[in-house]
Amino acid sequence: MSIFAGARKCNLKILAEELGETVNDSHKLKDLKKIILASKEYDEESAKEWMNMIVNERKEREENEIRKEEIAEQKRQEVIAEQKRQEEIAERRRQDEIQIAEQKRQEEIELRKLEYEEQKRKDEMEFELQKICLGAEGRSLNSNSVANKNGNSTQIKPRLEIHHLMQKFNSDENDISLYLIMFERLAKQAEILENTWVTHLLGSLPYDVAQLIAREPDEIANDYGEV
């Protein structure tokens, strides 16, 4: 019979049940054929229609299952791709953090280096300034010694460090004219000899200015009015 040509056991089992017959999985293909043909409800044309319907429904179910599996696989691949993307983002962020931390570390090293160099420069300037002050003080004392030998009765006053009385000159904050007026007043109040004013003033001036004064000849460098 053409109805059974290429028929599958599962489809024949369904057809037999549609005809009102009781069958189970133990029935073989040839048994199902006999049961269908012997059924009182069997009609060849109706059976063909049923069989076509059964085959189409099964095919549709199988196609739906395939589509579901494809959709599930697509979603699985999307999840994997998203996980990979998130991992790549996390890795880039981690690398960025490492780079930023390294850059910050290098900047801190460079800053400490600059601070060290600046402190070293200030120490050297302070040392040079002290040398200049000592040199100026020596020239002033020599001048007083010569004056005393020539009969000058002026008494040399004990030296008072004027930088204890006023801050160093800062061109950004101080006016030079007012600063010198204040210096002169304090020098007089401290009874500092005028011929040593330059020596005391050098310790309160910026290094470059003090260096310029120290390079002048003694008669100018020791004369407060000339300076």
94 found inside a domain: no
182 found inside a domain: yes
Give the total number of structural domains in the chain: 2
Domain boundary among 79, 97, 112: 79
- Whether this model's pTM surpasses 0.85: no
150 found inside a domain: no
Query: What distance lies between CA 221 and its chain's CA centroid?
Result: 54
23 found inside a domain: yes
Residue 22's domain comprises: 9-79
221 found inside a domain: no
Alpha carbons 25 and 140: distance in angstroms, whole number: 128
40 found inside a domain: yes
Sign (positive/negative) of CA torsion 209, 210, 214, 217?
A: positive
138 found inside a domain: no
What is the residue-level pLDDT of the chain in tens, covering all 227 positions?
A: 566 767 787 888 888 888 888 888 888 878 888 888 888 888 788 778 888 888 888 888 889 999 999 999 999 999 999 999 999 999 999 999 999 999 999 999 999 999 999 888 888 777 766 765 565 555 555 555 554 555 444 444 444 456 566 677 777 777 778 878 887 888 788 778 877 777 777 777 777 777 777 777 766 666 676 65
Contact (Cβ atoms closer than 8 angstroms) between residue 152 and residue 193 = no
Contact (Cβ atoms closer than 8 angstroms) between residue 204 and residue 122 = no
Contact (Cβ atoms closer than 8 angstroms) between residue 192 and residue 198 = no
